[in-house]
Amino acid sequence: MRSASLLLALAIALPTHAQQATTTIPQSALDQVPALRVRALADRTGWNVVESLTTEVGPRLAGSEADARAVEWAKAKFKALGYDKVWTEPVTFPKWVRRSEHADVLGVHAQPLVITALGNSPGGTVEGEVVRFPDLAALDAAPEGSLAGKIAFVDYQMQRYRDGHDYGVGGGGGIRGKGPSAAIRKGAIGFLMRSAGTDTSRAPHTGMTSFEDGLKPIPSAALSTIDAAQLARLVALDPHTRVRLALDCGIEGDYTSQNVIGEITGHGPRKDEVVVMGGHLDSWDPGTGAIDDAAGVGLSMAAGALLKPLHPQRTIRVIAFANEERGLFGGKAYAAAHANEIARHQIVSESDFGAGHIYSFNTNAPDSAKPAVDQIAVALKPLGIDVIDGEGGPESDVGPISRLGATWASLSHDGTNYFDYHHNAEDTLDKIDPKDLAQNVAAYAVFAWLAAQADGGFGSAPKAAGDAGD
Amino acid sequence: MRSASLLLALAIALPTHAQQATTTIPQSALDQVPALRVRALADRTGWNVVESLTTEVGPRLAGSEADARAVEWAKAKFKALGYDKVWTEPVTFPKWVRRSEHADVLGVHAQPLVITALGNSPGGTVEGEVVRFPDLAALDAAPEGSLAGKIAFVDYQMQRYRDGHDYGVGGGGGIRGKGPSAAIRKGAIGFLMRSAGTDTSRAPHTGMTSFEDGLKPIPSAALSTIDAAQLARLVALDPHTRVRLALDCGIEGDYTSQNVIGEITGHGPRKDEVVVMGGHLDSWDPGTGAIDDAAGVGLSMAAGALLKPLHPQRTIRVIAFANEERGLFGGKAYAAAHANEIARHQIVSESDFGAGHIYSFNTNAPDSAKPAVDQIAVALKPLGIDVIDGEGGPESDVGPISRLGATWASLSHDGTNYFDYHHNAEDTLDKIDPKDLAQNVAAYAVFAWLAAQADGGFGSAPKAAGDAGD
């Protein structure tokens, strides 16, 4: 029994492709790269797609009227770009709506504060003294019950990094996710945070929060960074500063949107295998979702279209995911719908970090694919892209399927300015540099082309249930 | 008769002071300048006053609850800074209130547009096709009646200059002032303009418009520069693009605010003469009125306070004017209240162009005062200030009294970035560089000190009625 279970364990640990000879990319494919790079850098398709989505559809909060228009837009755009197959797959989620949001300082320093409700926040009007905390740890350390009848205010200023890592645990995104529940546990009636953003502006950053099971949700919102600084000064002047927070928003039943998928069909015996690129179609509502994530949709649609005349061996699959913003619903639905086709995923990628210059290429492909990975790296190098250990990961919506065993690739955008505009009203077309976007398109086109032409795979194989949570 | 009227004309043309010996500044006053400059550059009073007003009062639209708080604040601040006399003078004006403002593109490209109502706009909801004009001249050239049932959209992008001159006639401010009436004359039911701003942002710029007599006012608003670009793209895609403009705002009776005046009393025989500095106390409501015009209030209060220990000969009068924004009401009221004291005004100045580095000093003082003017210029030179012909003029609220004959001085701020934040939500404390503000304080302190100590005047004298409209 023991040796049998050892064999089983080995079979799980060694995915199918790892048992093949090493994966390489044929010279005939590499020979096409210089011309592909040139063509991609001169191509305006990526820009045109981003302009079209952000202008014609505009803001497209998941579940809104614009969500449905975005789905129709994506289907039409795939067809117009010459994709061979276009279809949709349903994605169902609780619909959250935002109607109005106001906050006011009360009393002798009365004045409005610019805020935005956090996604999933309930509506409601609360009024209470503001208690300021410099960060989430300070809120967590507050005595039990100490915020009874009060509004918690976490005033953490997110720091600027190329890889945006201060959006993570303890940073801006971490506070947004965990802060409201932490505040509820201390008795707070409302939650305010300095926006998870690196800008100095009056544009507050929205984004999803979630409430832990068993806690009664409270109105939760983000102040613009400037309004947070103002409130901090007011609280310093008067520790009894009171604020009224009035949100009209909340969850209203379920909504079914669609992942929209377009394919450039492969040629030959490997055409059932797919190279996945994509972005997410939904956006937060204050901006028009240009960097988040019309850019990802546009650059992957454009990269796929550039490959059509090259007749790739494997199929190029571009996915415009539904409702990434409120919890990866599109990515989870895609993984669930394609859980039995993991090995058919040659490699999966998504662009969901803006349209800054791509500076790093990474993948979790096994050693057997290293020769091909190195060849891709050489082909990306003239675009200013290096392999930097530890950068990147399976981005947003390809996370769920990568956890099922699909090998991911990551092309990391420079995110130095990303959190100036992320999830706020300033996420608009003008924030995208057409030259950077063209470089992004070129990077994805080269990567996808070479992955599609590789002799051998990149290690995608179903994981055992116990591994799927990696 | 003829020679008598010629004599009268000469008497009018030559103000009292011009008949004196030339005006100079005694060496004892000049000797104090270097130490004064050093002290001013190191002084935090200007910053503290600006921070106090923008934080504790916040936005202070003329006629709002905050207007009254601002008046109390100014009285208290003058007293706290050691001003010898503090009083108020009433300023009455029609009160305009802003309650809500929305605009939406209708139809297949449905999306909200970020707008702000123009001051004096009536409320109302209108819906119609948008007709875009590149500038005011194009709107003026539209055929009569051609905008019947439509919304005019003047899409002029204001250009950036150090002296901000594209805010003038034909530029951003000109369009805001004249555009609505021009649109009404062509039959329009609503007016939209690209904000009079040099920024690329979602923060629309408000500001006063006015409607010509005999025209029925229409809802009038400014789009953020980014929303204007978006609407321009949408109109290019579909010339029948329709917009709904819904404003809840309007004039609601009269309100009486106050000019708040503080004096450092002069010493000796010239103490009845005043050197005037100031800024305006009111602000538009989207921001906290930091550059417009807490800066002017703060730097003049600070400059005056710095002169108190020097015991100036003439009185230093600092004025925090009421309701500049909706039509110089404070400046007009001051001129009316002091029309019989023109000759007592040694020289008048106001700072109402932000807190950028002051680069130019100018005055309309007559040739008889040129020696003193030159001495002031030499004293300002170490602060990086030159005399540049044709720069400057009687700023905002000192315009009315200068038209009655008071000699003006102007210290011109570098306004390169001023129209990024002017009249929008981004006019907040963080836009002020403390070093620039300290330079501003030093410039005003040096100027006011030397004007107060001058042997002789700068030419202020009542103008004949026929000249007052200059």
How much is the mean pLDDT over chain B?
94
pLDDT for B391: 86
Q: Which of B111, B224, B237 to mutate to test the interface with A (most CBs of A within 10 A)?
A: B111
Name chain B contacts of A116, Cβ cutoff 8 Å: none
By Cβ distance, the residue of A55, A425, A426 closest to B234 is: A55
Q: Do B230 and A55 touch (CB under 8 A)?
A: yes
Please give the pLDDT value at position B85: 98
pLDDT recorded at residue B357: 98
Angle at B312 between CA B308 and CA B314, to 5 degrees: 125
Give the CB-side neighbour count of residue B347, counting CA atoms within 13 A: 29
Q: Where in chain A is the domain with CATH 3.40.630.10?
A: 21-84+265-453
Residue A22 has pLDDT above 50, yes or no: yes
User: Using CB atoms, which residue from A59, A230, A287 is nearest to B55?
Assistant: A230
- The secondary element (H helix, E strand) that includes residue B321 is strand B315-321
Tokens 């996915």 found at: A319
The reply to whether residue B55 touches residue A287, judged by beta carbons under 8 angstroms, is no
Chain A residue at shortest CA distance from B424: A202
Q: For domain A97-251, give the fold.
A: Glucose Oxidase; domain 1 (3.50.30)
Task: For residue B429, list chain A residues with Cβ-Cβ distance below 8 A.
Answer: 229-230
The β-bridge partners of B244 are: B104, B127
Residues of A with CB under 8 A from a CB of B: 51, 55-59, 65-66, 69, 105, 108-112, 114, 200-203, 226, 229-230, 233-234, 237, 287-288, 425-426, 428-430
**B100: closest chain A residue by CA:** A100
CA distance A138 to chain B (A): 25
- Per-residue HEC secondary structure of chain A comes to CHHHHHHHHHHHHCCHHHHCCCCECCHHHHCCHHHHHHHHHHCCHHHHHHHHHHHHHCCCCCCCHHHHHHHHHHHHHHHHCCCCEEEEEEEEEEEEEEEEEEEEECHHHCEEECEEECECCCCEEEEEEEEEECCHHHHHCCCCCCCCCCEEEECCCCCCCCCCHHHCCCCHHHHHHHHHHHHHHCCCCEEEEECCCCCCCCCCCCCECCCCCCCCCCCEEEECHHHHHHHHHHHHHCCCCEEEEEEEEEEEEEEEEEEEEEEECCCCCCCCCEEEEEEECCCCCCCCCHHHHHHHHHHHHHHHHHHHHHCCCCEEEEEEECCCCCCCHHHHHHHHHCHHHHHHEEEECCCCCCCCCEEEEEECCCHHHHHHHHHHHHHHHHHCCECCCCCCCCCHHHHHHHHCCCCEEEEEECCCCHHHHCCCCCCCHHHCCHHHHHHHHHHHHHHHHHHHHCECCCCCCCCCHHHCCC
Amino acid B363: pLDDT: 98
A58, A109, A200 member nearest B56 (Cβ): A109
Provide the pLDDT confidence category of residue B278 given band limits of 50, 70 and 90: very high
- Report whether pLDDT(A411) > 50: yes
Residue A460 clears pLDDT 80, i.e. is over it: yes
Residue A205 with chain B: CB contacts under 8 Å: none
CA of B64, closest CA in chain A: separation in Å?
A: 11
Burial of A48 (0-12, 13-18, 19+ CB in 10 A): middle
Which of B66, B105, B201 has its CB closest to that of A426?
B201
| Side-chain half-sphere exposure of A371, counting CA atoms within 13 A | 14
> Topology of B21-84+265-453 in CATH?
Aminopeptidase (3.40.630)
**Cross-chain residue pair A109–B57, CB shorter than 8 Å:** yes
B57/A108 CB distance under 8 A: no
* CB contacts, 8 Å: B56 with chain A: 108-109, 234, 237
Residue contact A430–B58, C-beta within 8 A: no
Span B434-450, mean pLDDT? 98
pLDDT of residue B20: 53
Q: Pick from B94, B91, B95: which is nearest to B74 by CA?
A: B91
pLDDT at A170: 85
Residue A13 has pLDDT above 80, yes or no: no
CA gap B365, A118 in Å, rounded: 59
**Chain A interface mutation, best of B284, B417, B428, highest count of A Cβ atoms under 10 Å:** B428
Query: What residues of chain B lie within 8 A of the CB of A111, using their CB?
Result: 57-59, 66, 288
Predicted local confidence at residue A3, as pLDDT: 40
Residue B454 clears pLDDT 60, i.e. is over it = yes
Provide mean pLDDT across the span B244-264: 98
B-chain CB neighbours of A69 within 8 Å are: 108, 110
A287: nearest CA partner in chain B: B202
Q: What confidence score (pLDDT) does residue A465 get? A: 57
pLDDT of residue B465: 57
Please tell me the distance in Å from A249's CA to the nearest CA on chain B. Answer: 17
Mean pLDDT of B49-73: 98
Contact B428 A287 (CB under 8 A): no
Measured distance CA(B398)–CA(B402) in Å, rounded? 6
Put simply, the answer to whether B58 touches A426 (Cβ < 8 Å) is: no
Q: Which residues pair with A258 in a beta bridge?
A: A90
Does the structure show a pLDDT above 60 at B56?
A: yes
Q: Are B201 and A201 inside 8 Å of each other by CB?
A: yes
* pLDDT band at residue B464 under the 50/70/90 scheme: confident
Distance, in angstroms, between A286 CA and closest chain B CA?
9
In B358-397, alpha helices (H): 370-380
CB contact under 8 A, B288 and A203: no
pLDDT, residue B277, reads: 98
Q: Which residue of A has its CA nearest to B225?
A: A430
Question: Hey, are the CB atoms on A110 and B230 less than 8 Å from each other?
Answer: no
Cα separation, B361 vs B410, whole angstroms: 6
Looking at CA atoms only, how far is residue A421 from chain B in angstroms? 11
Q: How confident is the model at residue B5 (pLDDT cuts 50, 70, 90)?
A: very low
Residues of B in contact with A203 (CB under 8 A): 201-203
**CA angle, residues B405, B410, B413, in degrees to nearest 5:** 155
What pLDDT does residue A464 have?
Answer: 72
Residue A249 has pLDDT above 50, yes or no: yes
Q: Is the predicted pLDDT of residue A18 greater than 60, yes or no? A: no
Evaluate if residue A466 carries a pLDDT over 90.
no
Helix axes A434-453, A33-42, angle to 10 degrees: 150
| Residue B373: per-residue pLDDT | 98
Residue with tokens 């580095």: B357
- Name the residue facing A425 among B105, B110, B114 (closest C-beta): B114
B298 min Cα distance to partner chain A (Å) = 18
Contact criterion met (CB < 8 Å) for B230 and A203: no
**Residues of A in Cβ contact (< 8 Å) with B98:** none
Percent of chain B with pLDDT over 70: 94
Instruction: Report the distance separating Cα B37 and Cα A400, nearest Å.
Output: 65
CA angle B169/B281/B310 to nearest 5° reads 110
Residue with tokens 């649609």: A301
CB neighbour class for B42 (10 Å; exposed up to 12, middle 13-18, buried from 19):
exposed
pLDDT at B368 over 90: yes
pLDDT in the model for residue A4: 39
Q: Which pLDDT does position B118 carry in this prediction?
A: 98
Give the pLDDT score at B13: 43
Average of per-residue pLDDT values in chain A: 94
Please return the burial class of A309, using the count of CB atoms within 10 Å of its CB with bins 0-12, 13-18 and 19+: exposed
The pTM of the full predicted model, rounded to 2 decimals, is 0.94
ipTM for the assembly: 0.93
Which residues of chain A are within 8 Å of residue B200 when distances are taken between CB atoms? 430
Which residues of chain B neighbour A108 with C-beta distances below 8 Å? Answer: 56, 69
- B301-336 pLDDT tens trace: 999 999 999 999 999 999 999 999 999 999 999 999
Whether A197 and A158 have beta carbons less than 8 Å apart is answered as yes
B420 φ/ψ angles, rounded to the nearest 5 degrees: -75, -30
Nearest by CB to residue B202, choosing from A66, A226, A425, is: A425
Facing residue for B425 by CB, picked from A51, A57, A114: A114
| Nearest in space to A445 (alpha carbons), one of A95, A38, A173 | A38
What letter represents residue B261's amino acid? I
Asked whether the predicted pLDDT for residue B11 surpasses 50, the reply is no
The Cα A139–Cα A149 span in angstroms is 15
Integer Rg of chain A from CA: 23
Boundaries of CATH 3.50.30.30 in chain A? 97-251
Peptide bond into B374 cis (omega under 30): no
Chain A residues within an 8 Å CB radius of B233: 51, 55
pLDDT at B6: 39
Residue A20: band (very low, low, confident or very high) from pLDDT cuts 50, 70, 90:
low
Size of the A and B interface in Cβ pairs below 8 Å: 88
What pLDDT was estimated at residue A14? 46
Q: A428, A431, A432, A433: which to substitute to probe chain B, counting the most B Cβ within 10 Å?
A: A428
Name the closest residue on chain B to residue A241, using Cα atoms: B56
Record: contact B59-A111, CB cut-off 8 A: yes
Question: Which of A112, A114, A233 is the closest to B55 by Cβ?
Answer: A233
**Inter-residue contact B204 to B227 (CB < 8 Å):** yes
Q: Which residues of chain A neighbour B202 with C-beta distances below 8 Å?
A: 203, 287, 425-426, 428
User: With an 8 Å Cβ cutoff, are A58 and B111 in contact?
Assistant: yes
Residues of chain B in contact with residue A58, where contact means CB-CB under 8 angstroms, are 105, 109-112, 230
Residue A11: pLDDT above 80?
Answer: no
pLDDT digits (tens, 9 = 90+) for A59-89: 999 999 999 999 999 999 999 999 999 999 9
In this prediction, residues A25-38 reach a mean pLDDT of 98
Task: Give residue-wise pLDDT tens across range A141-185.
Answer: 999 999 999 999 999 999 999 999 999 988 999 999 999 999 999
Q: Is the pLDDT of residue B12 over 50?
A: no
Owner of token pair 């993991």: A342
CB contact under 8 A, A230 and B428: yes
